Each structure stands twice: as C-alpha cells, then as structure tokens.
C-alpha cells in the first residue's frame, strides 16, 4: 500500500474537535463548543447573493476579488481607521482568513525564520508556520488575566524573527489587546524590522467600551503590517468563507502569487453579497454586535450563577470558564465528562490551543455564545444540573 500522508503533515493529528464533535452528535448534546453561529446572517445579505447568482455573476472572479467588494473594503477601513488601501494593489479577497493566513505565511517565510505567536494559539497558525520550515516562538497569555509579560515578549524577538501574529480580539481568551500592549508590539516590530500579521476576524465583536486597535493604523506600521480579516463572524456567515488581506503592494504581490496556486479565486456571487453587506455596515454591524453582547451577558451571568469562575470576554463570541469549583479533572477529561454525563453539553478544552500540552492551564473550558437564545437557554438548563 502506498504511504499517503507526507512526513510534513504526519505530526498534525486529527484534532480533538473531531472526537468531541462525534460524541456531542451521538449523545445529542447542546453544542456550546463549535465556534460558529447556529443561526443565519442577515436576510438582506443573503438576498444580495441570490440576486448576484440571478444576474449571472457565476464565473471565476478576478484573482484579487470582485471590484465592488474591494472598493467596499477600502471604504470601510478609510472610514473606521483612517487607513487608505488601494483596491488595485493592496486588497486581496481570499477564502476566509484561513486561506489568507496560509497564503501570507507561505508567501513570506523562509526555512529557519522565527514567528512569534501568543499562546493559547488559534489552531491553524502552528502547522502552517512549521510546514514552511519556520519556528514558532510562543509568548504566553497568562491566566487568569490572559495578558502577556512585556519582558517575555521583548526576549522573544531575535535576529531570526521574521513576523509576529497578533490575534485581537483573541480566540479563545476573549482578550482585546490594550493600547499599551499594541504599542509595545509596534515598537518591537520597528526596532527589529519585523512584519506584523494580524488576525482581526472578531474586530467588530468588542464589548464594554473596549476598542479594537488596528495595528496597521499605528505610526510606522502601515508599511510593515499585513492585516487579515474576514466577514465570517461580523455578519454571522461563516460558511461563505470571505476573507481578505490588506497589505503594502509588494506583500500583496507575494500573497496574490500564492493565492493563484491555492484557489485563484473566491466564490463570485458571495463576494457580491458581502459587498452589499458592507454597504449597509453602519446599520448591520452595530445591530449584530449588540445581539452578541446580550448573548454574552446571558451566558456569562448564568455560568457565574451556576458556580463557574467566568473570564468575561472583552471581545469575540467566546467565554472561558474555570471549572475548578466542580472538578479537579484535566480540561480534556472534564469536557468529555460533561458530554457523557447527564449534563450533555459540548465545550472546548483550552489546552487544545497550546503547542505543548504540559504548559497549558487545565482548568478552563471555552463556551461559544454565538447561539440562538433557545440553544443558550437549553445549554444553561443542562449545566444547572451541576448545582444539584
């Protein structure tokens, strides 16, 4: 029999998400684990995509993206962040921020480069960095505040550092990096001539007066930042996979060259749908963010009332809850216990977001509150069994 899987891929086993998902389905658990909404995005946006299909926008899109979407993105960042990106040479539409990150890292990295990441780390960064022959240098966000130690960050920069990935608002901790944190990263990037790659997919899900800072908008960073974002979470349309990069022309050229060999183009009618969504962003985005804020309050209050120590998130649609009042099991085991017991609620253990499991805190579960009120209420009712 042939050996199918290449050696570079073999170290990355099927994730725990698959196992947890299977048990959750088998036991018909309330799923507060999966990181996406169990409801649909706005009707007007779906209608715009349907109209694009009816109007014949069904062949390959231009490689950089359809012009109405590129222009809408340029307008959005001009209005929100005072950033001017040229749609012709600096904006590229890709299949979600996942393809954007893959194309960016693969286009930029040389073997032996170092890439700084904050840990817990979103699951796609690490394999992509390593498969490109580069090294991951992890800086911990330390529980319970999930902030980084400024000295640890300074020491992480070396002559080999090529890039730093900044995911804010941060999955899974819900942290929104502060001005002081962003400024320190900015200064270190400039001092060491390092590229900042951002993952801003939760940029519009920010609560309690916290403010999302665009790294590219800080002085001296426009020319050394690749901004990656996606419309998946903003408009609750994760299945559309419309992401993008905003980057200086030479970086954009490299990303586009890579994109040409991965997918070449992104679903044409869906790009038109998102262009329409962005036209209505000033009404749609605050509305969706407000709804998510109420869901956050409902879930966090309920979890605290049940007895969890909740890290109330500043952004994203995730909340971490410390379950040590209920169990001294490790998070992976406790997530399975919750699934298999009468509680029957699916969550995600935090340690799956760590490169080395032995460095991970083991007392947190991630709950996703991007769920219908009915799902959230059912989940909370089940979790209340822990109180008995």
Ligand X SMILES: Cc1ncc(COP(=O)(O)O)c(C=O)c1O
Q: Interface with ligand X includes 230 (CB under 6 A)?
A: yes
Q: How far is the CB of 57 from ligand X (least distance, A)?
A: 21
Contact between 194 and 163 (Cβ < 8 Å): yes
Residue 262 in tokens: 């991965």
**293-322: contacts with ligand X (CB under 6 A):** none
**97-116: contacts with ligand X (CB under 6 A):** 97-98
Q: Interface with ligand X includes 350 (CB under 6 A)?
A: no
Q: Which stretch binds ligand X (CB under 6 A): 2-10, 91-99, 105-113, 344-352?
A: 91-99
Contact between 230 and 243 (Cβ < 8 Å): yes
Q: Choose among 11, 37, 8: nearest CA to 237.
A: 37
State how far the Cα of 310 lies from the Cα of 105, in Å rounded to an integer.
34
Instruction: Give bridge partners of residue 368 from the DSSP assignment.
Output: 318
Q: How far is the CB of 193 from ligand X (least distance, A)?
A: 26
Looking at the Cβ atoms of 66 and 274, the one nearer to ligand X is: 274
Q: Interface with ligand X includes 67 (CB under 6 A)?
A: no
Contact between 344 and 27 (Cβ < 8 Å): yes
**Phi then psi dihedrals of residue 165, to 5 deg:** -100, 125
User: Helices (DSSP H) in the chain: which residue ranges?
Assistant: 16-26, 43-54, 67-81, 96-108, 125-131, 150-156, 179-192, 249-262, 268-279, 281-306, 331-340, 373-383
Binding ligand X (rule: CB under 6 A), the pick from 64, 87, 96, 120 is 96
Q: Which stretch binds ligand X (CB under 6 A): 50-58, 130-138, 236-244, 358-366?
A: 236-244
Q: Interface with ligand X includes 73 (CB under 6 A)?
A: no
Q: Interface with ligand X includes 31 (CB under 6 A)?
A: no
Looking at the Cβ atoms of 97 and 104, the one nearer to ligand X is: 97
Q: How far is the CB of 17 from ligand X (least distance, A)?
A: 11
Count of residues that bind ligand X according to CB under 6 A: 14
Q: Which residues contact 385 (CB under 8 A, 6 or more apart)?
A: 342, 343
Q: By the criterion CB under 6 A, which residues form the site for ligand X? A: 35, 96-98, 122, 167, 171, 199, 201, 230, 232, 238, 241, 243
């Amino acid at each position: 029999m042939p050996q199918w899987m290449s050696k570079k891929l073999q170290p990355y086993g099927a994730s725990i998400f698959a196992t947890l998902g299977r048990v959750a389905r088998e036991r018909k658990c309330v799923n507060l684990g999966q990181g996406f909404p169990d409801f649909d995005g706005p009707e007007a946006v779906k209608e715009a995509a349907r109209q694009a299909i009816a109007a014949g926008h069904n062949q390959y899109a231009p490689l950089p993206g359809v012009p109405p979407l590129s222009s809408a993105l340029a307008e959005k960042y001009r209005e929100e962040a005072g950033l001017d990106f040229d749609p012709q040479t600096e904006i590229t539409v890709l299949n979600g921020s996942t393809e954007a990150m893959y194309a960016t890292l693969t286009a930029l990295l040389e073997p032996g480069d170092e890439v700084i990441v904050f840990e817990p780390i979103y699951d796609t960064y690490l394999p992509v960095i390593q498969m490109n022959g580069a090294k991951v240098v992890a800086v911990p966000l330390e529980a319970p505040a999930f902030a980084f130690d400024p000295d640890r960050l300074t020491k992480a920069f070396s002559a080999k550092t090529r890039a730093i990935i900044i995911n804010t608002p941060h999955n899974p901790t819900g942290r929104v990096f502060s001005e002081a944190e962003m400024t320190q990263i900015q200064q270190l990037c400039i001092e060491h001539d390092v590229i900042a790659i951002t993952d801003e997919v939760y940029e519009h899900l920010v609560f309690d007066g916290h403010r999302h800072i665009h790294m590219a908008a800080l002085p001296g960073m426009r020319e050394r930042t690749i901004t990656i974002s996606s419309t998946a979470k903003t408009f609750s349309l994760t299945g559309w996979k419309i992401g993008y990069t905003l980057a200086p022309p030479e970086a954009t050229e490299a990303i586009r060259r890579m994109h040409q060999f991965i997918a070449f183009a992104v679903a044409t009618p869906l790009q038109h749908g998102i262009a329409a969504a962005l036209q209505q962003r000033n009404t749609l985005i605050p509305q969706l963010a407000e709804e998510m804020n109420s869901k956050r309050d409902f879930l966090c209050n309920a979890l605290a009332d049940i007895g969890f120590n909740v890290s109330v998130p500043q952004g994203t649609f995730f909340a971490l809850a410390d379950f040590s009042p209920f169990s001294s099991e490790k998070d992976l085991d406790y997530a399975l216990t919750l699934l298999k017991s009468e509680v029957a609620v699916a969550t995600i253990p935090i340690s799956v977001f760590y490169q080395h499991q032995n460095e991970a805190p083991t007392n947190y579960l991630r709950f996703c509150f991007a769920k219908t009120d009915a799902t959230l209420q059912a989940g909370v009712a089940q979790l209340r069994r822990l109180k008995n």
